[in-house]
Structure 1
Amino acid sequence: MLWRGIWDGGLDLGGVGNVLAESRTWKVVWQTVLQAALGTAGAILLGVPSAYILYRVRFPFQKVARAAATIPFVLPTVVVGVAFRALLGRGGPLEFLGLDQTVTAVVIALTYFNYAVVVRTVGTMWQTLDPRSAQAARTLGASPSRAFLTVTLPQLAPAIASAGAIVFLFCSTSYGLVRTLGSPGYGTLETEIWRETTAMLDTRTAAVLSILQVVIVILTLIVSEKLSSRTAGRLNLRSHHVSPIGKSDAPAAVFTGLVLVVLITSPIISLVARSLTVDGEWSLKNYRLLATSGQGFSGGSSVLEAIGNSLRIGLVATLISLAIGVPLALVLSRQVRGPLRTGQSFLSGAILLPLGVSAVTVGFGFSIALDSPPLDLRNSPLLIPIAQAVVALPLVVRSLTPTLSSIAPGRREAAATLGASPWRVLATIDGPFLVRGIGVAIGFAYATSLGEFGATSFLARPDTQTLPVMIVRLLGRPGGDNYGMAMAGAVILAILAAGIMAAAEAARKDPQ
């Protein structure tokens, strides 16, 4: 894909320059960066006070509140987009605000989706901070706000910055949210890549835009890695400083409660309610229609067939990502020195790239790289699972590597000294820890594959439509039945994704 952008029978920097000289190119870049910056700011402003309440103080039903805060992040982006359409769109409780298919709606949805990232990252670090520093400042006469700004906030700054970099990355590559919530004329780098490829048939321009996105992603990843390494030193502390909730915590508690009720749960409630109503009355009609292809379609898959496709393709993609991810996690978890350490760091960064690069770019790359011999996979049933496995691979590796890294190197050396073969060391030392994390890895991979939309939208054929692709297709068609079916399909997709993640967490085992 990168090569297509600069080569046309020879090095073609002039073609690249023509694309970069267009005002629309930089308008799209600006809209992408601005959208990501606003979404990041919103997630931090809402997430930091919530991190304090959910992780620094103790109160009844705290685990329930934490679970509610993480709901958005386990949902596919298409579900989040459709949920906000149900809340803000026609027939929704907040339709009167006029925010449907606006940039504001996209930014609110980005804040919603990434809220959990800030809460978890900042809250986990906040637990490790020794409260005596802030208490000393208060003893010396500092007000609560001054103690927070001068003592606590600087200590939290690495975690906030690290979370912000990750959120910016996610916000700049939120294709599903923009497609489902944005207006037809609104464009980001991702939607422009899709438009140039599918509507304009201009793969050269799409490739150059993909290069611009890769540059943004790489810069963000570099910042994220540096900030994450600074945060990791704090997170390794095992002491947790948690105190009972008090009167002084009331403002933050009320604020967090409002965020959880108004922002986090209301879109999901609106989505479920909208899927169960037809012409203002409660009905299961939208769910019964899922066996059809909807209004205005000339043939094609039904939603039920799309669900079957998603489950089958997701299973194959999960197996592929595990087959590649488990060996990579074993390699990255080993403590090495010298040149091997450099190579290990490079490999770790390379694996992270699909997590940051838009799935649209991944799908575009597959569509032009695997459409001719010797790797002509255009008609292969493995094409979509392979693309989805690439998207899920970083999550598989990242979920397994910390668990395997916690093994003391001396345990492997002691087993080898006692005569154990490398395979037996792997089975008896690494094996129990691998079992501990494999459930979560499977959950991440399967849930990611089920909700994957960007790459699949490029590669799906009429007979291989997945559920996210079908939902967006229904939203783009006029007619109340199509709209209601999209809502019902989104509810089913949310249940599948959340259920798989819950089962994976429940299956987690501790090593003996």
Structure 2
Amino acid sequence: MIFGSAVLYLLPLFFLVLMIAMPLFSLAQYGGMAQWQLMWQDSYMHNRIAWTAFQAAITAALVCLLGVPIAYVLSRFEFLGRAWLLRLQMLPFVMPTLVAGIGVLGLFGNRGLLWSGWQDTPYLLIYGNVFFNLPVLVRAAFQGFCQVPAARIQAAQTLGASAWAVFWRIQFPTLLPWLAGGACLVFLYCFSGFGLALLLGGQKYATVEVEIYQLIAYELDMTTAALLVWLVLGITFVSGVLYAVLSRYAVSAASAEMLPRQNIRTLTEYAAVAVALLLLLCCCLLPLLAIVVHAAAAGDSWRVLSDSTTWLALFNTFRFTTSAMLLAILLGICHAALAHRWTGLRSLTFLPFMVSPVCVSFGLLVLYPQWAASFSMLICTYALLAYPFITKDMLAAWDALPPRFIQAARTLGASPWQTWCWITFPLLRPALRRGLALAAATCVGEFAATLFLSRPEWQTLTTLIYQYLSTAGQDNYDRAMVLTALLALFTLFAFVLFETAKPVPKETSHAHLA
């Protein structure tokens, strides 16, 4: 029994070693100093690396400029629909990158509803990055505004400080760590992003991740691809460490009284709320609406839903997601239990977030060639990218559990296993379902790992959409839009299925103790 418990505890560590550490170290056999020098002397690679860093930095700056006013309005004012708005503004982040990219194309691509002049320009990718990452920054800034003690703001207002002075002198110092941490996270996502860059960057504005994919899939240049992987890993590691350091300063002021939200009273406040809503509409909802409009006007292309290829893609998406979720639940619970007991291992929770799917997939192909295009490898990769969402939410809930419940159960003679089954797990179940919501959405929309590791007969919705979009013709474009709307609906269903789960009543733990 003790040996079995130890194996379960250490299962996430073994999994991370096999799926991340060993594959990445296997890439070290490629290249050398001579290859590094050749790559650094290549002006084409210089341009790719510089553009990748620039688009990530400019996106981080833009989402800060746009996200702070939106977060201020959401944290300061009470208005009709505010609670729903807080949930809906995370919708772009829940959507797969493929849905986000096609939505942007539907607005500003060759057949764009608003403007067709952004095709083959850098603006397409930057807008896509803003659409996908603005909710991350808004959420971080919102939490920062909520940590400002009301006493400080009220004291400054009593002394005659203007709203601008209160913001810069009182709120901004508290907000800054949250803002900087969110910006680092956005930079990491944009620098190591693949789906958006593949769809929106084109050949001229491709990022390093897209270059790695092209080097492997079309040129079979494993050496240069491996060097670029290490470059991406180095930069994302620095960004991840900086985010972790900044997060330590974003300490929750739970004991301080927060400033209560106020109803909208003046014309200026109405204007502020209207501007925030307009920004959210333009940056977060328009691409999704564009998909709906294009799909509604698809006409006969809706017959794609009756094709056997579509049904096979749906079946593959469902079975891959279901299988990966079963493994992700096991890994997530075990990792949360391990990190709860040994706090030094908590940083490993975010390790899969810091390594892009392209880098992981390439490393797996190099280290395990005999398992390439195997069902087990694909499912393990899906689970690797999904289970940290479960661990993160469960660990936060576990830390907040009142210890008296567990102590009472042990006093009444319950074994550790009985305590877990009847006390701990029921209290953690709402957090588990919240983590499952994002994990399921991640598996449904996974694109990069599927391109690398799946077989042609294992086509999913994401790869089928990309196939239609890459084929010339209006009918293929319309078919891609119809399937994208289906994928968005499928992802939203998977998210809502778990996110709307009701929390366990407080009386549950007392009933179990009795």
Q: TM-score, normalised by structure 2?
A: 0.89
Q: Which residue of 2 aligns with 1:424?
A: 418
User: C-alpha displacement at 1:509, in angstroms?
Assistant: 2.2
Q: Which residue of 2 aligns with 1:368?
A: 366
**Of 469, 481, 485, which aligns to 1:487?**
481
Q: d(CA) in 1 for partners of 2:464 and 2:289?
A: 22
Corresponding letter in the other structure for 2:356 = S
Residue 5 of structure 1 contacts residue 205 of structure 1 at CA under 8 Å; is this kept in 2? Answer: no
Q: Which residue of 2 aligns with 1:80?
A: 100
Residue 6 of structure 1 contacts residue 13 of structure 1 at CA under 8 Å; is this kept in 2? Answer: no
1:143 equivalent to 2:143? Answer no
**Of 200, 205, 215, which aligns to 1:196?**
215
Corresponding letter in the other structure for 1:105 = L
Q: Which residue of 1 aligns with 2:375?
A: 381
Q: Which residue of 1 aligns with 2:65?
A: 45
Q: CA-to-partner distance for each residue in 1:361-406, whole Å, 9 max, x for gaps? A: 11112222221xxxx3225322211111111122121121111111
Q: Which residue of 2 aligns with 1:297?
A: none
Q: CA-to-partner distance for each residue in 1:120-168, whole Å, 9 max, x for gaps? A: 2221332232234234334434332222122211121111112111111
**Of 319, 325, 328, which aligns to 2:326?**
319
Q: CA-to-partner distance for each residue in 1:233-256, whole Å, 9 max, x for gaps? A: 336757463222232423421211
Residue 351 of structure 1 contacts residue 393 of structure 1 at CA under 8 Å; is this kept in 2? Answer: no
Alignment of 1:62-81 (within 5 A): 62-81=82-101
Corresponding letter in the other structure for 2:317 = S
1:128 equivalent to 2:122? Answer no
Corresponding letter in the other structure for 2:351 = L
Corresponding letter in the other structure for 1:58 = E
**Of 443, 450, 461, which aligns to 2:455?**
461
Alignment of 1:49-448 (within 5 A): 49-96=69-116, 98-234=117-253, 239=258, 241-247=260-266, 248-278=268-298, 283=299, 285-292=300-307, 302-334=309-341, 340=342, 344-345=343-344, 347-371=345-369, 376-448=370-442
Residue 389 of structure 2 contacts residue 436 of structure 2 at CA under 8 Å; is this kept in 1? Answer: no
Corresponding letter in the other structure for 1:202 = D
CA 1:235 to 1:110, structure 2 compared with 1: closer, same or farther past 3 Å?
farther
Q: d(CA) in 1 for partners of 2:254 and 2:125?
A: 32
Which moved further from structure 2: 47-56 or 14-23? 14-23
Residue 125 of structure 1 contacts residue 235 of structure 1 at CA under 8 Å; is this kept in 2? Answer: no
Q: Which residue of 1 aligns with 2:17?
A: none
Q: Which residue of 2 aligns with 1:15?
A: 35
Q: d(CA) in 1 for partners of 2:346 and 2:143?
A: 23
| Contiguous gaps of at least 5 residues in structure 2 | 1-22, 509-514
User: C-alpha displacement at 1:455, in angstroms?
Assistant: 1.3
Corresponding letter in the other structure for 1:220 = S
Percent sequence identity over aligned pairs: 29
User: C-alpha displacement at 1:197, in angstroms?
Assistant: 0.7
Corresponding letter in the other structure for 2:89 = A
Q: d(CA) in 1 for partners of 2:263 and 2:146?
A: 13
Corresponding letter in the other structure for 1:29 = I
Aligned Cα RMSD in Å? 2.1
Q: CA-to-partner distance for each residue in 1:18-75, whole Å, 9 max, x for gaps? A: 3344333332221111111111112111111111112221111212322331221111
Corresponding letter in the other structure for 1:325 = G
Corresponding letter in the other structure for 1:7 = Q
Q: TM-score, normalised by structure 1?
A: 0.89
Q: Which residue of 2 aligns with 1:337?
A: none
Which moved further from structure 2: 402-411 or 175-184? 402-411
CA 1:472 to 1:240, structure 2 compared with 1: closer, same or farther past 3 Å?
farther
Residue 122 of structure 1 contacts residue 156 of structure 1 at CA under 8 Å; is this kept in 2? Answer: yes
Higher helix share: 2
CA 1:167 to 1:12, structure 2 compared with 1: closer, same or farther past 3 Å?
closer
Q: CA-to-partner distance for each residue in 1:158-217, whole Å, 9 max, x for gaps? A: 111121111111121221111111122222121011011111101111111111111111
Corresponding letter in the other structure for 2:304 = L
User: C-alpha displacement at 1:288, in angstroms?
Assistant: 0.9
Q: d(CA) in 2 for partners of 1:116 and 1:380?
A: 35
Q: d(CA) in 2 for partners of 1:197 and 1:386?
A: 21
Between Structure 1 and Structure 2, how many residues are aligned?
Answer: 483
